[in-house]
Structure 1
Amino acid sequence: MIDEPAVACRELRYTFGDTVAVDGLDLEVRPGEVFGLLGPNGAGKTTTIRMITTLLPAPPGAISVLGYDVDRRRTAVRRLIGYVPQQLSADGTLTGRENVTLFARLFDVPRRDRSTQVETALDAMDLTDAADRPAKTYSGGMVRRLELACALVSAPRLLVLDEPTVGLDPVARDVVWERISAIRATTGMTVLVTTHAMQEADEHCERIALMHRGRLRALGTPFELKADVGEDATLDDVFRHHTGDTLADDQQKGMRDVRATRRTAGRLG
């Protein structure tokens, strides 16, 4: 399965009642790349991510992760991925080490390897010195790095990040991406990320897919997408070009996502 895409979505569709959240999405993420999934609130990004990570049911044959059908091989897929959700997932009452150890157990890291992999994940996120402090004493940037350590403790081949730097200041954001880049350089890990920060996507993503109203609207490198819009265009211009004047219509549908993001930003400080 070495030649398989890291992620492949084929005619992917998902509905919530009468609302179509994802509408016939065709998408491939190449092994080893940083792939950005962009779009306004309500575009279908998080629904897509949740299906890829097995948190929502996917139709048989609609999604494969590193060659495994997500519907038929959920357990195998879960062993291949690390996931950092938009909402905070670290337990503030536990120490950093206890948080990472808990995730090692949840991801079924073998007992004989668990201690070593916990220490490796903490060290990779520069959290060794703070590992025995309660997570509630961590800064916002440290909390995000702790969540990355939790996601990385099982040595995933695919890391899925949903708004990984929301609420962080520029310095903390840079540190998070420096750590991700360092791990990719040594492991070849694939990264799938959603973000509303266009500068972040432009700087770190090798290719970008832009979704709107559940459908794929644009796909390419940041350079290609900007060139298609016009000379001196930015990714903000690309975003506006493909979403048009319909953002007001999507605002109400995305209010729950907005509130969740604000809560996360507030807790990160």
Structure 2
Amino acid sequence: GEVVGFLGTNGAGKTTLFKLLCGLDTPSSGAISICGNNGGTSKVRMHVGYCSQRDALWDSLSAREHLVIYGRLRDLNDGQVMMVIDRLIAHVGLTGKVADRPSAELSGGNRRKLSMAIALVGSPSVILLDEPTAGMDPTSQRPIWELIGKITATKDRAVILTSHNMNEAETVCSRVVFLSRGKVQCVGTTNDIYAWYSPQCHVWVICRFAINSGGGEEVRELASKVAYESPNSCLRLVEIHNSIARYKTAVDAMLPISILWTWLSANKERYHCPQYAVTRSSLSHAFNAMAGQCSCGPA
């Protein structure tokens, strides 16, 4: 019932790990066990579904024909195959005539959808998704994320994915693993990662003075005052653009967001700041911080 995301720069070892897990490569040392079976065996392969980074499709076959082949490889009978195909095609969004076109005629996004559907044939216990939404537009990504959530709604199934899309990792992953040069650097929930590598939030404050002409200096003076008088002087002014002042602040057990929010609410009239917002740093900030500490820039 969990979605675990493996993150890392190009060449960190994410795809190699997936090949080891599904038996395409043999580990040079150590052991792999999936559902109580040794890695690389036929029993393990029946428990694992794999969506590779590069679509492994036959150009002349349609999406429906691909799923028939993989259904039979999973030992499904004809009735089960047809039922599974219709359900998966609907789930991944290969609707209408798209499912009956040769895969060579499909867009990059639809080819990824087909690869995703193939990984789900036979309801495997462990599903490996190597950049499952690569090449998809944002509108097409959302249904796939929702599908991943449905897959893990039952406790007997897990999803392991890799992604360079930090928004995707934040949205679907219950835990993330950061890889660098083939080694695990850290494991934790997204909140753990924020606390370790990017313990900051961003504060946006809209100043009423900016509505009046010539109010720029007043806005800057007010913005500086807000930073100075904030709890523990925690706010650091980053920029002022028109009527909006942006700050950064560290957030920890001594100064949770709730205290900062309460202070802003109590002082909004005093500082002529009727509107404000507080957001956490993104996983992208944490990822960049981790990559910098590991000194492993993009390959």
- For residues 37-73 of structure 1, the C-alpha deviation after alignment (integer angstroms, 9 at most, x for no partner) is 01111211111111001111136862111221215xx
Partner in structure 2 of residue 83 of structure 1? 50
- For residues 142-172 of structure 1, the C-alpha deviation after alignment (integer angstroms, 9 at most, x for no partner) is 2222112211121111110001111211111
CA distance 1:134–1:186, change in 2 (3 Å) = farther
SS in 2 for 1:123: helix
* 1:155-194 pair list within 5 angstroms: 155-185=123-153, 188-194=156-162
- For residues 6-62 of structure 1, the C-alpha deviation after alignment (integer angstroms, 9 at most, x for no partner) is xxxxxxxxxxxxxxxxxxxxxxxxxx1000001111211111111001111136862
Contact 2:145 2:168 in 1 (8 A): no
Query: Offset at 1:123?
Result: 2.9
Query: Offset at 1:98?
Result: 0.5
**Matches of 1:107 and 1:247 in 2, distance apart?**
40
**Matches of 2:151 and 2:183 in 1, distance apart?**
32
The yes-or-no answer on 1:231 pairing with 2:279 is no
Bigger Rg over Cα: 2
- Higher RCO (C-alpha 8 Å, min separation 6): 1
**Matches of 1:83 and 1:213 in 2, distance apart?**
23
SS in 2 for 1:154: coil
Structure 2: runs of 5 or more not aligned: 202-280
**Matches of 2:95 and 2:289 in 1, distance apart?**
45
Q: CA RMSD in A?
A: 2.2
Of 68, 83, 97, the residue aligned with 1:116 is 83
SS in 2 for 1:244: helix
- Normalized against structure 1, the TM-score is what? 0.73
The yes-or-no answer on 1:45 pairing with 2:14 is yes
SS in 2 for 1:176: helix
Of 134, 141, 145, the residue aligned with 2:102 is 134
Partner in structure 2 of residue 144 of structure 1? 112
- Normalized against structure 2, the TM-score is what? 0.66
Query: Offset at 1:132?
Result: 2.1
Contact 2:112 2:135 in 1 (8 A): no
State the AA in 1 paired with 2:171. Answer: E
Contact 1:60 1:69 in 2 (8 A): no
Structure 1: runs of 5 or more not aligned: 1-31, 252-269
* Identity rate, percent: 35
- What number of residue pairs does the alignment pair up? 217
